[in-house]
Structure 1
Amino acid sequence: MYKLLILLLIITFNFYPQTDFEERVEKGIKEIYNIKFDEAEKTFRNLIADYPNHPAGRFFLAMIDWWKILLDIENESYDDIFFQKLEDVIFQCDQILEKDPDNVDALFFKGGAIGFRGRLRSVRNSWLKAADDGREALPIVERAAKLDPNNLDVQLGFGIYNYYASVIPEEYPMIKPLMIFFPSGNKDEGIRQLRNTAFNGKHAKYEARYFLMTIYYRYESNPYLAEEFAKMLVEDFPDNPTFQRWLGRIYVRQGKMQLADSLFKDVLRKADENYYGYNFAVSLREANYYVGYNYKSNYQNDSAKIYLNKCVEISEAIDKDEESGFLINSILYLAQISESKNLIEEAISYYERLLRMRDWGNSHANAQYNLKRLKGS
């Protein structure tokens, strides 16, 4: 859902030269990514108190709420406060720019705030407003980059733009008409810029690694390069459920099911121990699904049923407009397990249930074939 961010999100970082300032910003960023929100809140509120004329503190306070949204994307309860905090950043930047139109920090953080506003609007399907934010943010950050061409972290934003402006119109034709308002992109240049930031950037390197992980997984069909960046993120931020789940699904695509199983069991352990973000439904559903799938693949059907049934239970509670792939596949696997135990009526019930759901990965054809076979007609 967040794909439009590419046209909207230009995150940039340009800080005071003071060592104290940079160290505190870096500390707070790491606290956000490692889901230590209380610590991050304290870090950035103290930063605002000590550096009240710099927009970084307010910007990163908003990023705490952004990660709360990311961890539980269907929950809209943080949207209003997130939007308000972004408006506070934009207001402060505008005040700075009235006195100093070439203030690079104000330009960077204003562009970043508008970009994140558009990013959330795209998640919430407010496409026109999101596109307007993208159109507003891009020239602001371009101006900042011209004023400070040696800022390596700015390449994050241009890398995101270059890559997705090239790829997204082909992947999502509905967005194509909006592209007339934006410069054309260059996919190869975008990857080069993102990799440069990922390996050489200062504060933006983590976000660059996140985007490279998702790009290599989703669009470049290269789970091995995706794994490279996922491992970096998990090693740096071992208590971030989003990064752990990404690495787990990358392992699944590679066929490394034992590694995936171990990782998703760790997700469930952390949920049991109330680590923040791990006990949200979307995280629990995915972890239960892959643990159950691995048990089934190893013919440990009794254990598989426990986890797959849990995935079904969670999916039924959170699926809104249509059944998720997690739910449909879990029902299919439960039908197959029932067959293996010679529980034919139970298997038939599962297959009939599949036919009442939307078709997913030939689930209807599969169910119809097996029902005909089991019923002998």
Structure 2
Amino acid sequence: MPKKIINHMKFKIIFFVFISSILFGQNYDWARHDSLIKACINQIYGIEFDKAEKTIDIVIKEYPTHPSGKFFKAMITWWRILLDLEDESLDKKFYAQLQEVIDMCDKILEKNNKNIDAIFFKGGAIGFRGRLLGIRENWIKSALDGKEGLELVYKAYKADPKNIDVQLGFGIYHYYAEVIPQRYPAVKPFMVFFPQGDKKKGLRELENVAWNGRYARIEARYFLMTLNFMFENNMQEARKWGRLLLKDFPNNPNFQKYYGLTYVKENDYRTAAKIFRDIYKKCEKGLPGYNLRYKREASYYLGMDYKIRDKVDSAAYYFEICEKLSRQLDKKTESGYLINTVLYLAMLYDQMGQREKAIKYYNEVLRLRDRSNSHELARKYLKTPYRK
């Protein structure tokens, strides 16, 4: 499993927000506010960032004393980051936007420390900050943000226990607080400062939000898809949530990728290839969010499908694309995509009778870091050509 995907799950204590009807001393049209926020949320998940920017700018202009506008402005940046976690160029902007939300909420809470909206949006901003800090492996700051955010969620829950969306924060925490320390023992020292986790309770809370939540429903479904894929190893359940997400947001590459990976994990490359072929086509068309990383992943799994079916020429075609993209994308160290692809290309060239080219690629494998016995296989086939 790619390291960034694993890191992506650590300290995922997210505090997604809801919009209450408490006024800020202004005669606002709250039905319009609610409608605009819903539209913005759908545009963000639909990877329609330009539309989302315009929608949230209206919210900021018409509701200047409410923190929702600044919060969802930051959420647009968050999804831009999420679509390419290797690119850290937007991190500072995201942290600055979240700080604006926190500062605005603090000013509101100085006047009224029981203001529910301010509590929720501050908790949400701190939660998302902690989430990115965890992805960037800044564990101490991430843990501190998680602790502070969790306290705000509890405070908000006490103020409005009937709100279903607040259970998203509880569900995420209860699930990962039990699972993460078991999977990653190095995290355990941080967890002594937190309440005990409860995986089953967390799943129930997330499912309640996924079916009944008002604003956090999609986020809860996204978590259920990813945690069933990564931790529960329940591909059928992961696909259930994936289908629901793609029904509403068919052009979200992150949703589509995870859905395809559920079939990869079961070695059903034929079905996975149908999904990744659609991703590849969308990348070729330049649909928003379908960047080079998604094209690289799609070309890899298309190559795997053809390789398994012994369609040597087609497999080589897509692996060559994957190799080119990997050399372009791999900045700090060679990815698993590159290592596997170079090895597979060497084997395919052997099958096609292009021995000199195969030898070149086997030697290239030996210059890359060893992964899953790649060096052993390269040495083996340098001595004796690969034959299926």
Q: Distance in 1 between matches of 2:15 and 2:134?
A: 14
Q: Distance in 2 between matches of 1:169 and 1:364?
A: 33
CA-CA distance at 1:367 after TM superposition = 2.4
SS for the counterpart of 2:11 is: helix
The reply on whether 1:14 has 2:51 as its aligned counterpart is: no
Paired residue for 1:252? 264
Q: 2:243 aligns with which of 224, 228, 231?
A: 231
Q: Distance in 2 between matches of 1:166 and 1:360?
A: 30
The reply on whether 1:268 has 2:273 as its aligned counterpart is: no
Q: Distance in 2 between matches of 1:40 and 1:242?
A: 18
CA-CA distance at 1:115 after TM superposition = 0.8
Paired residue for 2:356? 345
Within-5 A mapping of 1:201-212: 201-212=213-224
Letter in 2 for 1:239: N
CA-CA distance at 1:180 after TM superposition = 1.2
Letter in 1 for 2:21: Y
Q: Once the two structures are superposed, what CA deviation does each residue of 1:227-247 show, in whole Å capped at 9, x if it has no partner?
A: 111111111111111111111
Q: Distance in 1 between matches of 2:21 and 2:266?
A: 43
Paired residue for 1:369? 380
The reply on whether 1:130 has 2:135 as its aligned counterpart is: no
SS for the counterpart of 2:258 is: helix
Contact 2:11 2:143 in 1 (8 A): no
Letter in 2 for 1:332: L
The reply on whether 1:222 has 2:222 as its aligned counterpart is: no
Contact 1:16 1:22 in 2 (8 A): no
Contact 2:296 2:321 in 1 (8 A): yes
Contact 1:354 1:364 in 2 (8 A): yes
Deviates more, 1:287-296 or 1:335-344: 335-344
Q: Distance in 2 between matches of 1:263 and 1:223?
A: 15
CA-CA distance at 1:216 after TM superposition = 0.5
Q: Once the two structures are superposed, what CA deviation does each residue of 1:282-307 show, in whole Å capped at 9, x if it has no partner?
A: 11110110111112222222121121
Within-5 A mapping of 1:47-66: 47-66=59-78
CA-CA distance at 1:358 after TM superposition = 2.0
Deviates more, 1:339-348 or 1:241-250: 339-348
SS for the counterpart of 2:85 is: coil
Q: Once the two structures are superposed, what CA deviation does each residue of 1:240-264 show, in whole Å capped at 9, x if it has no partner?
A: 1111111111122233323322222
Q: Distance in 2 between matches of 1:53 and 1:269?
A: 44
Q: 1:153 aligns with which of 149, 157, 165?
A: 165
Q: Distance in 2 between matches of 1:33 and 1:87?
A: 23
Paired residue for 2:307? 296
Q: Distance in 2 between matches of 1:184 and 1:351?
A: 50
Contact 1:12 1:157 in 2 (8 A): no
Contact 2:150 2:169 in 1 (8 A): no
CA-CA distance at 1:322 after TM superposition = 2.7
Paired residue for 1:286? 297
Letter in 2 for 1:262: K
Q: Distance in 2 between matches of 1:77 and 1:320?
A: 14
Q: Distance in 2 between matches of 1:349 and 1:77?
A: 36
SS for the counterpart of 1:177 is: helix
Q: Once the two structures are superposed, what CA deviation does each residue of 1:117-176 show, in whole Å capped at 9, x if it has no partner?
A: 111112222222212211221111111111110010111111000010101112112211
Paired residue for 2:27? none
Q: 1:213 aligns with which of 222, 225, 236?
A: 225
Q: 1:198 aligns with which of 203, 207, 210?
A: 210
RMSD of the TM alignment (CA)? 1.7
The reply on whether 1:4 has 2:10 as its aligned counterpart is: yes
Q: Once the two structures are superposed, what CA deviation does each residue of 1:324-353 show, in whole Å capped at 9, x if it has no partner?
A: 111111122212211212223332332232
The reply on whether 1:314 has 2:325 as its aligned counterpart is: yes
Q: Distance in 1 between matches of 2:58 and 2:356?
A: 64
CA-CA distance at 1:179 after TM superposition = 0.8
Deviates more, 1:37-46 or 1:256-265: 256-265
Contact 1:14 1:151 in 2 (8 A): no
Q: Which runs of 5+ in 1 are unaligned?
A: none
The reply on whether 1:34 has 2:40 as its aligned counterpart is: no
The reply on whether 1:336 has 2:347 as its aligned counterpart is: yes
Contact 1:5 1:115 in 2 (8 A): no
Contact 1:301 1:337 in 2 (8 A): yes
Contact 1:286 1:311 in 2 (8 A): yes
Q: Distance in 1 between matches of 2:15 and 2:10?
A: 12
Q: Distance in 2 between matches of 1:258 and 1:234?
A: 20
SS for the counterpart of 2:18 is: coil
Letter in 2 for 1:24: L
Q: Distance in 2 between matches of 1:192 and 1:276?
A: 34
Deviates more, 1:178-187 or 1:322-331: 322-331
SS for the counterpart of 2:152 is: helix
Q: Distance in 1 between matches of 2:113 and 2:184?
A: 37
The reply on whether 1:323 has 2:328 as its aligned counterpart is: no
Percent identical pairs in the alignment equals 47
SS for the counterpart of 1:181 is: coil
